[in-house]
Structure 1
Amino acid sequence: MMATPVAPELTAATILVVFAGVFLISFMRGAFGGGFAIVGIPLLSLVMDPVTAGGLLAPLFIAMDLFALRYWKSSTWSRPDLVLLLPGLVIGIGFGYGLFRFLDHRAIAIVMAEITLIFVGLWFVRGGQVTRRPRSTTKAITAGLASGVTTMVAHSGGPPLAMYLLPLGLSKEIYAGTTSIFFTVGNATKAVPWLLLVRPTAGVWAIMAIGLLAIPSGVWLGWRLNGRLDQRQIYRACYGLLVLTALKLMWDGISGYLP
């Protein structure tokens, strides 16, 4: 099911596009704690195939995580939720890696997009209000597993996690901090599997080094945005990003079936 990775040429256009894509993902990381990397992947796909983009981003995600932890410290983590979420995340990544070459990524993308759009649609029907719900062990484990599989096969682990965390009504700082450490664990876990799948060339490593330069400013500016927006604005932005993510997943899935 996986196409053979093609190394991108080290041109000015490649450097510019990668810098812009990594900056955008870093900005999302700083503002919302992570989970919306797929929003920036279309930029990278302009100059390389999606599989190569996934391998290129895997180590850069870890760099983003380390930088973001300067802002989203342990005081912003919801430990009761992480205890429930993280085991499923790690297991889901392992499951996704084991079946990476056999899973129908297109079908997974379409199903995840449909579920996400339904979730956002219900929020919209309620007038954009968050209906607080108590923690659920079953829902947390399911969200962790789903996020692990989708982050491994498509760098799109954000929707399952958001669908679990947003209804809890966490403060914007706790939401972002919990999301941040969740994906720090996830990105560290999936980095080696992705590198084994893609086996980056020297040229890809060189492009990674260039992408590193975009991370500090992107994360910092995103963190500043989070501080300026109030609770309602942050939640609206998260739901809006979920729609963008779902539409991107839907497009990836449907276009994969087209001749």
Structure 2
Amino acid sequence: MLTGISKGGFGAGIGIVAVPTLSLVVPPLQAVAIMLPILCLMDIFGVWSYRRDWSRKLMLYLAPGALLGIGIGTALAGWVDEHMIRLIIGTIAVLFSLNYWLGGRRRDEARPENPVRGVFWSAVSGFTSFIGHAGGPPLQVYLLPLKLNKTVFVGTTTVFFMAVNYAKLVPYGYLGLLTEENLMTALVLAPICPLAMLSGVWLHHRIPERPFYLICYVFVFLVGLKLLRDGVTGVFG
């Protein structure tokens, strides 16, 4: 429910808690595998809801960057320390949020688009999404400062992660993660998807623009703290 509400209304954000929460009862790799089909199903409802409200211009360079990141993740599968990745992304998310809150007037100034920066952060997003469905914070580091219309922001994020999640099906299948047990578990959880996504869309259209962005930055900050905690525990615990 948290993942769907977050994806449907706020552009990922706190939905990142799903994998750590599932990891309390199953191994992390299995948690990631169970969540992928669920995310793919949620993406269908999300893209339908925002089908007219996303930036084609942004996706022209964000999508290739994401595919690059997924490719790197696939090549490094088995070599990557997931705890270190959490530590790095958590640090980025926390510093990004603090920079926004402490930036004074700069908070209200929209940053111009920069395709090079966009490709970099979308590649980081694709990589961290491949490792643990943690692609939200890196993408938001690029998108939030653009000050897009809130619906275009969520719509673009939704289309981006639909492309990312469906692209991940191939390497996940190749790596043997989409087992019958994991797919059946995802199927049991599937009925939650439409309710969660539509609840997020409903909330999205009832929250004004300024509070909406405040909520997004708070989500990024909280997620960053969670990732930092998990990374420090995993690396040094």
TM-score by length of 1: 0.86
Distance 2:94 2:191 in 1: 34
Residue identity opposite 1:34 in structure 2: A
Distance 1:35 1:81 in 2: 19
Match of 2:73 in 1: 96
Report the 3-state secondary structure (helix = DSSP H, G, I; strand = E; otherwise coil) of the residue aligned with 2:49: coil
Aligned-pair RMSD on alpha carbons?
1.6
Which segments of 5 or more consecutive residues in structure 2 lack a partner in the other structure? none
Instruction: Provide the identity percentage.
Output: 33
Listed as ranges, the gaps of 5+ residues in structure 1 are 1-22
Rounded Cα–Cα distance in structure 2 between residues aligned with 1:46 and 1:177: 31
User: 1:30 maps to what in 2?
Assistant: 8
Say yes or no: does 1:85 pair with 2:53.
no
Deviation at 1:36, TM superposition (A): 4.3
Q: In structure 2, what is the equivalent of residue 109 of structure 1?
A: 86
Question: Alignment length, in residue pairs?
Answer: 236
Tell me the distance in 2 between the aligned counterparts of 1:32 and 1:116: 16
1:90 deviates by 0.4
Q: Which residue of 1 aligns with 2:136?
A: 158
Partner in structure 1 of residue 97 of structure 2: 120
TM-score by length of 2: 0.93
Deviations 1:184-229 (A, max 9, x none): 0000011232233353443322211111010010001010000110
Question: Which residue number in structure 1 is paired with residue 187 of structure 2?
Answer: 209
1:191 and 2:169 matched: yes
**For residues 196 and 60 of structure 1, what CA distance do their matches in structure 2 show?**
19
Matches of 1:76 and 1:200 in 2, distance apart?
32
Partner deviation per Cα, 1:56-108 (whole Å, 9 max, x = no partner): 111111101011122111x2111121112111100110111110211222222
Any conservation in 2 of the 1:90–1:148 contact (CA below 8 Å)? yes
Between stretches 53-62 and 37-46, larger displacement belongs to 37-46
Please state whether the residue corresponding to 1:132 is helix, strand or coil: coil
Other structure's SS at 1:52 match: helix
Structure 2 match to 1:136? 114
Structure 1 residues 130 and 93 mapped into 2: Cα distance closer, same or farther (>3 Å)? farther
Q: Distance in 2 between matches of 1:38 and 1:100?
A: 20
CA separation in 2, counterparts of 1:179 and 1:93?
16
- Taking the aligned partners of 1:223 and 1:239, their CA distance within structure 2 comes to 18
